[in-house]
Each structure stands twice: as structure tokens, then as C-alpha cells.
Copies of this chain bind each other. A is one copy, B any other.
Amino acid sequence: MNALATIRDVAKEAGVSVATVSRHLNNKGYVSNDAKQIIEKAITTLNYAPNQLARSLTTKQTNLLGLLVPDITNPFFPELARAVERTAYEHGYTVVLCNAGETSEKEKHYIRSLQQNYAAGFIVTTNHIEADFYKKLDVPIVALDRNLSEAIPTVTSDNVLGGQLVANYLVEQNVKRILCVRGPLDIDVANDRMRGFEEIMKQHPTIQYDTIVSPFDFESAKKVTLQQLQHTRDYDAVFASSDASAIGVMKAAESLGIHIPKDVSLVGYDGINIGTLLSPELTTIAQPISLMGERATELLIALIEGQKMTAKRVVFPPKLVVRNSTTKGTEL
């Protein structure tokens, strides 16, 4: 009861060799039904559980999946993480969630540390690090909501389309001057969203828009937006390129006595659950977050379990979800 039972204990208890026990455990090779029975019994009486460490040391494989996120307090990532976690669990894997934070140093530390612990693979939603670093790694990797490199399997949604959806919608709403609170310049999905937006805007030269840059978190977006609104308040719509930023924009507006949507419309991006719980509820471009997490995990597991797929890319379509932050009180 004290020291954890080993495979040898089981073998002894069952009166067979360790090899037989191992074969039974892994469903490999021949094991007679008689043997299976006895071993099974021995396992339960000894309350035996295989030591994954030892197993991994031999096989050089684990059931650990590393999930790297840039900021776990941005609600988008927990939603993603939950999907990843659920899918992994269903496939017998365990997720190691790492908050890589701001620095690429920490991100590297985690990758190194996990690799040393033989993480079977990684899902990466960060991009502090050069893609080259990942390519050299020679470990199964899937990029989620980020385009790391052509060579790395990737799951995203169509961010260009998302940007277009916003632009088209705002055009329909007959908006004249827009403030874009866009994401960091080195994040490709942020660029894509802007690109889609601008493509449509080119067709409507009468509509003006200003662009300011902000990280995706609440606080930063609030601060940056406040600064901008100090200059001009002459906007009738704001396009925040994440829902988290949109919340920051909401607060900025509120503190200046600007009413949403009466004075200015607000469109977010991501489709996180909290969006429906805000006042007003947030109009947004919804990504299929669960689906994306699920698909990325399946892809990674496929990769780990052998299928050498090269540069597979999955792109989901985003959807415009109109709620109250852009309509004057009309329920959806």
C-alpha cells in the first residue's frame, strides 16, 4: 500500500513474467485469456498503475500535450483551452497549460522544459518566437489562431473575411467615421483582420477611419482608446479587433460619457461568452472557438500518432453576430 506497486510486483503476484504483464497492458502480442484474467486480478489487488515516466523513458512518447497561451486572463484563451482540454481528454491525453506571458524567454523555457519531459507535442497560440525556432524543434506542433509558418499545421478562422464582415456591416449601418483599435503589428491575425477591413473600405472612400494599436487585453485597450478619444470623439463606430479589447473600449467610452450604441457603435472580434453578458451585449465577429480548439487538438494527436501530414491548414469561417452594441436597443 505504501510504495507504488511496479510491474514486477504484478508479475510476481500473477505468477507470470513482466513481459506478459506488459503485453497485456499495452494490448500487444499474444496473451492467453487465462493470463489476462490472472493479471487483471493481480492489478486490482495491488492497485497497480503503470509508471508513465518509465514507460516514456523507453518509448520516448508521452500523453502530455503542451498548450502555450499568451495571456490566460484574456477570456478567449480559457475558452480555447477548455476545448483543447476536453478533446485531449477524450483521446487519453493530458494538457499542460502554459501561460507564456509577455516574454519569449518564458515561452522558450516552457518549450524546453516540456520537451525535456517529453511532451508529445505542442499547440501554440503565441508568437513571440520566430517560426524558425519551432521548425528546428522536431516535435509535433500545431499553430492555433496564429500563422507561425507555412510549414506548420495551422488552425485558424478566416480573419480577412472577418475584417470584411465588419466593414460591410458598418457600411450598411451608414457609418461615417470609424476608429479601429487593432491588435499588435506582429500578430498576423490582427493584420489579416485589418486587411479585410481595409479592402472593403477602399470601395467606400467617403468613410474615414483612424487606426490605433493595442495589445489584446482589457486594460491596454481602455488606456489607448482613452488617449485617442482625448483627440477626437468624432467617431460613430469603433472596431475592436478582439472582444477583450472591446470591453476596454466600452469602459473608455463610458468614462467619457459616450453611450454605446447611441453615440457610437462597437464591434468586437472573437465571440467569447462574456460578450453576451455585457451591457450592452457585444456585436462581434464570432470565431467557432470550441471547434477550433477541438480541430487543432485532433490534428496534433494525428501528427503525434504517426500521420506525417505536411502543412495542413484548417480555416473556419467567422460569423457576424449582431447584438446590442451596434443596434439601438433592438434585440436579436
**Chain B residue with Cβ nearest A99:** B85
Q: A54 at the A/B interface (Cβ < 8 Å)? A: yes
Given A56-B53, A251-B277, A97 and B97 contact (CB-CB distance below 8 Å)? yes
Complex formed: what's the CA distance from A81 to B99 in Å?
Answer: 9
User: Can you identify 5 A-B contacts, CB atoms within 8 angstroms?
Assistant: A49-B115, A57-B57, A82-B99, A94-B110, A218-B277
**Chain B residue with Cβ nearest A77:** B78
**Chain B residue with Cβ nearest A324:** B254
Contact of A94 with B113 in the complex, beta carbons under 8 Å: yes
Contact of A116 among B49, B117, B222 (CB under 8 A): B49
Chain B residues near A109 (CB-CB < 8 A): 89
Complex formed: what's the CA distance from A53 to B51 in Å?
Answer: 11
Complex formed: what's the CA distance from A13 to B54 in Å?
Answer: 27
The secondary-structure label for the interface of chain A is: helix
Chain B residues near A247 (CB-CB < 8 A): 274, 277
Chain B residues near A79 (CB-CB < 8 A): 73
Contact of B64 with A72 in the complex, beta carbons under 8 Å: no
Contact of A54 among B57, B75, B89, B98 (CB under 8 A): B57
Given A72-B82, A85-B99, A94-B96, A273 and B218 contact (CB-CB distance below 8 Å)? yes
Given A2-B138, A218-B273, A73 and B64 contact (CB-CB distance below 8 Å)? no
Q: A239 at the A/B interface (Cβ < 8 Å)? A: no
Q: A23 at the A/B interface (Cβ < 8 Å)? A: no
> What is the minimal beta-carbon distance from A271 to any residue of chain B, in angstroms?
14
Contacting residues of chain A (224-243) with chain B, CB-CB under 8 angstroms: none
Number of copies: 2
Residue interface bits A67-98, CB-to-B below 8 A is 1, else 0: 00000110100110110010001000011111
Contact of A98 with B95 in the complex, beta carbons under 8 Å: yes
Q: A144 at the A/B interface (Cβ < 8 Å)? A: no
Task: Return the 3 tightest CB-CB contacts between A and B, nearest first.
Answer: A97-B97, A52-B116, A72-B78
Most buried by B among A56, A73, A98: A73
Complex formed: what's the CA distance from A251 to B110 in Å?
Answer: 39
Residue interface bits A229-271, CB-to-B below 8 A is 1, else 0: 0000000000000000001101100100000000000000000
Complex formed: what's the CA distance from A73 to B293 in Å?
Answer: 14
Q: A50 at the A/B interface (Cβ < 8 Å)? A: yes
Chain B residues near A54 (CB-CB < 8 A): 57
Complex formed: what's the CA distance from A78 to B217 in Å?
Answer: 14
Contact of A274 with B57 in the complex, beta carbons under 8 Å: no
Contact of A53 with B57 in the complex, beta carbons under 8 Å: yes
Q: A122 at the A/B interface (Cβ < 8 Å)? A: no
Complex formed: what's the CA distance from A273 to B247 in Å?
Answer: 12
Chain B residues near A250 (CB-CB < 8 A): 277, 279
Contacting residues of chain A (41-62) with chain B, CB-CB under 8 angstroms: 49-54, 56-57, 62
Chain B residues near A314 (CB-CB < 8 A): none
Chain B residues near A138 (CB-CB < 8 A): 2
Complex formed: what's the CA distance from A78 to B276 in Å?
Answer: 20
